[in-house]
């Protein structure tokens, strides 16, 4: 299942105004994840050094579509997209439609699996002539809300919370030298109880402690401003669970 919604740009200053004016329907929130075939872990290898004592529960290096991603073209009033697996990567060609006069953007959740205590890592790259776009990992997802840790193609990261139709920024947008502009970046999040740590390209970035949301859904996200077109490539997805 791919979940799509219109929303304001999740970064600093101008973003705050756009988000306040945006309403998300309940059906656009992250929900249940796809069923994982039991044979997808044993012959999949991703080099990830976090929480190695925990069991691997999901793995994909995109040599095929063993995890049943929803591939192909789709489109509606919010966006046009094409999902494909090519050259060992999940490739997403995505365009955000201009529906509100270029004042907001479009976010898409792609559910992965579920875990209460987890270590998740994913490598992604954004290719676009535009600058208003991000990708990230979403956790603690359920019908009530979600957290999203994301990076932009301008070297900025943030932690966003969506709860009950409202957006907030537990960690406001910050720049960091670990983020590579116009290149591949690897995001890792570890969650143990109510404590979460965030890493980019193997470097510790920040942490956050909260018990406000208790969902177990994990997903990855893409966001772009209205009218923006970009190609996202994802690889080396691994989830460990306690």
- Contact (CB, 8 A) for 173 and 105: no
**Quick one: fold of 3-241?**
Jelly Rolls (2.60.120)
Give the model's pLDDT for residue 132: 81
Calculate mean pLDDT across residues 40-69.
91
Residue pLDDT, tens place only, 198-221:
999 999 999 999 999 999 999 999
pLDDT at 134 exceeding the cut of 80 = yes
Q: How far apart are CA 19 and CA 11, in angstroms?
A: 10
- Contact (CB, 8 A) for 187 and 200: yes
Least confident of 96-105, 206-215, 224-233: 96-105
Q: How far apart are CA 131 and CA 8, in angstroms?
A: 15
User: Does pTM top 0.75 for this prediction?
Assistant: yes
Q: How far apart are CA 138 and CA 158, in angstroms?
A: 12
Least confident of 105-114, 115-124, 144-153, 211-220: 105-114
Q: How far apart are CA 167 and CA 19, in angstroms?
A: 7
Name the residue with higher pLDDT: 211 or 33.
Answer: 211
Calculate mean pLDDT across residues 127-154.
93
CA atoms within 13 A on the CB side of 227: 9
pLDDT at 21 exceeding the cut of 50 = no
């Amino acid at each position: 299942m791919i979940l799509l919604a219109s929303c304001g740009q999740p970064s600093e200053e101008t973003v705050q105004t756009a988000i306040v004016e945006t309403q998300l329907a309940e059906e656009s929130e992250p929900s249940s994840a796809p069923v994982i075939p039991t044979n997808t872990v044993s012959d999949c290898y991703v080099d990830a050094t976090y929480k190695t004592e925990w069991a691997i529960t999901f793995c994909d290096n995109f040599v095929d579509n063993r995890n049943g991603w929803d591939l192909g073209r789709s489109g509606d009033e919010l966006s046009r997209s094409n999902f494909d697996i090519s050259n060992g990567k999940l490739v997403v060609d995505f365009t955000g439609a201009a529906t509100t006069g270029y004042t907001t953007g479009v976010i898409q959740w792609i559910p992965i699996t579920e875990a209460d205590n987890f270590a998740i890592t994913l490598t992604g790259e954004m290719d676009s002539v535009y600058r208003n776009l991000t990708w990230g990992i979403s956790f603690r997802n359920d019908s009530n809300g979600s957290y999203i840790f994301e990076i932009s193609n301008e070297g900025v990261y943030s932690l966003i919370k969506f709860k009950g139709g409202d957006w907030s920024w537990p960690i406001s947008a910050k720049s960091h030298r670990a983020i590579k502009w116009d290149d591949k970046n690897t995001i890792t999040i570890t969650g143990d109880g109510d404590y979460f740590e965030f890493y980019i390209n193997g470097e510790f970035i920040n942490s956050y402690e909260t018990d406000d949301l208790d969902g177990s859904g994990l997903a990855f996200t893409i966001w772009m401003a209205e009218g923006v077109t970009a190609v996202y490539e994802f690889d080396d997805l691994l989830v460990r669970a306690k």
